[in-house]
Structure 1
Amino acid sequence: MAEQKTQNSKVTELAAENKRMHIMAYGLMALLFLVLLATVLRQFALTSILLIVAILYQMFIVRKQQKSYLRKCENTNLELTTLQKLDGVKIEEKPEDASEAEFLEAGLFPFVPKTVRFFKSITGKKGAFHIHSTDCSAAERQHETGVAADIVTGNWTQIELPEDTGLHVCILEDGLFPDELRKEFYEGQKLVELPRPEGMPGTLHLYAEGPDVPLPGGAFFQKLRSFAAYTPGKLVARIQGDTLDVFIRNRFLSSSFSVREPLTKEELLRDPFPELDHILELIPFLKG
């Protein structure tokens, strides 16, 4: 009952803020009408003043409030869905504890140096697991002209496990990035592609330091296959001792909202990143 009350309260609060956005938009329209009227009356000095006021009003008041409203919609959506699964949660618009060096260390896919950008992020705990998940982007490769192109966007989730799994493997899905880049990238990390073990589908590639290293059991690969079939984004998962890193292309913590219409309860309670559940469900299967 209390949860239902909280949800209704959030919807009411955001609806009121959406109404304020509309009032501001009407104010801007009124200013533009005055600009037009002053122009018709050939009051050019007044036209210039009103036009400057309208531009400043749009840039520093309307736009700022719209950004604030959309951010509040995104964060409220996360708080009532994804973050309900975690303890000690924190939302950041640009994470302070994520760096390009850490992303490089995760070894998920190739990218052009100094092109990684981080956006909305969450941190929290699920039992003994520490979770950090952030939306990010990077230039996959650089064209001969020197202009970075082929931008990859998606979500990077890193889970710190309470103990070392003894595993050092990387599994990625076909189509995440071009084959020539894949081979060059993993060979550069001294990883070799291994034959697919029993239970691993043909759409996945397995990389490790050699043929005799420990591997997850067949149940893990079956779980990963169902995960890959569920999410519309291509994924890569890398296990390095006590850390599990997963990148999913074109999947994000931030949902898309609009200031045109008030946020409905259904939109507010739609989980923007259900993939987090699937990532957590992989963990029990890491050890054979």
Structure 2
Amino acid sequence: MPTPRKATHIFHAPLTRRALLAAGAAAVVAGSRPAAGQSPPSGQVEINGRTYDAYVPAAIKQGQDFHFTCEFDASWIVFKTYGIDLDLEDQIDLIGLDTSIEPYHQETARGVLIHGGDISQYYSGDYKENFLARTTGLAMRKVFEHHKLVVTPVKDQIGIEDALRRGELVWMKATVDFLDWVPATWITPSGREFPTVLGNDHALVVMGFNAEGVVIRDPLGPTTTNWERPYQYEVPWPTFLRVFAAQDFDGLAVARPQAVARRA
């Protein structure tokens, strides 16, 4: 979802599209043998001159379907990587839309309050026009599970690292460009509350990590708010975890069922 500010200073070594395609074609995952001339430590992999503890090649989505469909654009990346074609309409049919209220916000003594639908079960808001429109991993997991993918909530660095080592992509809520945010509280019609952010809510995919940070696959790409935004970039762990916390550590490790069966 777009944001009015631009910040590329947290990004490290963004890859060109040619390099991204080459990395994807190589299908390198944790434990794979490095190319000739490369000698990363045991258990690590080297991609485009960078060494990672785990790296899961992910599909590239060149831009979002609409301004505020980031949750579905990020899940498209996961589905496409796992060989499943699922468009926006299919995902919306599965998650459902809560049309009981169009989200709006108020500034109060408690801070910013967003009144909207039940984002623990559905998507809430006009995804073409309303910058408050969104959902959560709680609701998105049924979209993944409908297609027999195995979903595990991840709430911390260890959970993310473990998922990536298993070859699982991590769908997560974040902020655009991992910028600072205005804290907000989402309130459903039943009174349930969720910590969130106001104006730069976003969703993306974690596809790798090393000791320095994580590798992100972002469906947003270059836009008028940041023409330099790549589809893949790295974010240092401290910045990543701070933004992850702002969205109540909302992450889902998504696995192919056959991969889970092999671990059993």
**TM value normalised by structure 2:** 0.25
- Structure of larger gyration radius: 1
Quick one: higher RCO (CA 8 Å, sep 6+), 1 or 2?
A: 2
* Larger helix percent: 1
**TM value normalised by structure 1:** 0.24
